[in-house]
Each structure stands twice: as structure tokens, then as C-alpha cells.
Amino acid sequence: MNNKVDAIGESLLRRFAGATSRRSMISKLGAVMVAAPVFPLLPVSRANAQKPDRSVEAKTAFGRNAQTRDDTKCDYWRYCAIDGALCSCCGGGVSSCPAGAQPSPVSWVGTCINPDQGKAYLIAYRDCCGKPYCGQCGCDNTDRATQLYVPQLNNNVIWCFGTSSMEYHCSTAVLVGAAK
């Protein structure tokens, strides 16, 4: 488990290092923040970590109804904790910003279950910034989302740190890696 956490954290650090040459402090801090909550987020108990319960009875309402076909709908599986406009409805994609918008190097995270395979994945909800609110496909999913005192699991924060502007445009759902 810890190795997985470390691997994800390291992977994130490498990605941030490659993508954000001049924002070392912010991006490193952000990477730590994204990586840190992996363990408590997992929808399984510590004792049962080897055999996660993916039965219908163990899934949240979102997890039971999630689909894998249409990423412009709020019930698309990766969006289990997204809040805001879907970039896939704004000229961008599930993991890409629309033209002219800047991806924030830090984000909040969710752990979502792919209903086709039953596996859980760590999803980074990377806000796209620097343009007025897109206004299309507004969603507010709240699986395992907590309050501001756990900011990396809070989907209300405008996650536009390290961008030239903090204007919020839309949100992506970048698959970071397997959570289990």
C-alpha cells in the first residue's frame, strides 16, 4: 500500500517537474498534497485492503449508477467528486483544457471506481483557469468529499494556483493511477 502511495507521489512529482519548470515550490507542495490523501481515500478498510469490496452494497449511489461511455455527463465514472463545469463540454476533454485555458498544476482528488472492471482509480480534478466560467454541464458530485479543513478533498476551492489568473473556467478529471 505504502509503496503504491509512494509510486503515485513520485510519478506526480515527475510529471509536475516536467511540466512546471518555474513553479517549483508550488508544484512540489501541490504534488505532496495530491499524493497525501491516497490512503485515507481508499474505499476499503485497512484490514481488508487486499480484497476491496466492490459489491453493489459497498458502492456509493454515484458508484452504482456510473457509466463509462459519455464523458459529457455528470454520471461519467471519473466524475465521482467533481464540482463545476465539465471541460469536455467546453471545447476541452476529460483530461485536457479548452484552447486558451491553463491547467492548474495542483488539484483536489477523488477515488472513483470504473464500473466496467470494478477497479478504483485516483482522479485528479485539475481546474482549467484564466477564462470566464464555461457554464456548460455543471456537476456537483461529492463522493468522499470533505470540508475546507481537508482542502485536497474539497471541491469548492478554486484550484487555480500557479496559473497566470485564478479565474475558473472548467474542471477536468485526469486519471493519475490505480488506487488499488
Footprint of other proteins (CB under 8 A): 26, 29-30, 33, 37, 40-41, 56-64, 106, 130-133, 140, 142-151, 153, 156-158, 160-161, 164-167
3-class DSSP assignment, residue 35? helix
Q: How far is the CB of 145 from other proteins (least distance, A)?
A: 8
CB of 43 to other proteins, least distance (A): 9
State which residue, 8 or 113, has the beta carbon closest to other proteins: 113
> Which of 51/69 has CB closer to other proteins?
51
CA-wise closest residue to 146 among 65, 56, 37, 28? 37
CA 21 distance to own-chain centroid: 22
Give me 140's grid cell: 456537483
Q: Pick between residue 56 and residue 99 the one whose CB is nearest to other proteins.
A: 56
Cα–Cα distance, 118 to 85 (Å, whole number): 26
Give the residue from 162, 98, 103 showing the smallest Cα distance to 135: 98
Q: How far apart are CA 63 and CA 79, in angstroms?
A: 10
Q: Give the nearest distance from C-beta 60 to other proteins in angstroms.
A: 5
Question: Minimal distance in Å, beta carbon 109 to other proteins?
Answer: 12
Cell numbers 449511489 label which residue?
61
Instruction: Find the catalytic residue in 71, 83, 127, 143.
Output: 127
Active-site option among 71, 77, 83, 108: 108
Residue 161: closest CA among 8, 9, 31, 18: 31
Instruction: Let me know if 143 is a catalytic residue.
Output: no
Q: Is 127 a catalytic residue?
A: yes
43: its cell numbers? 474505499
Judged by beta carbon, residue 10 or residue 140, the one nearer other proteins is: 140
Residue labelled with grid coordinates 476551492: 157
**Which residues are part of the catalytic machinery?**
108, 127
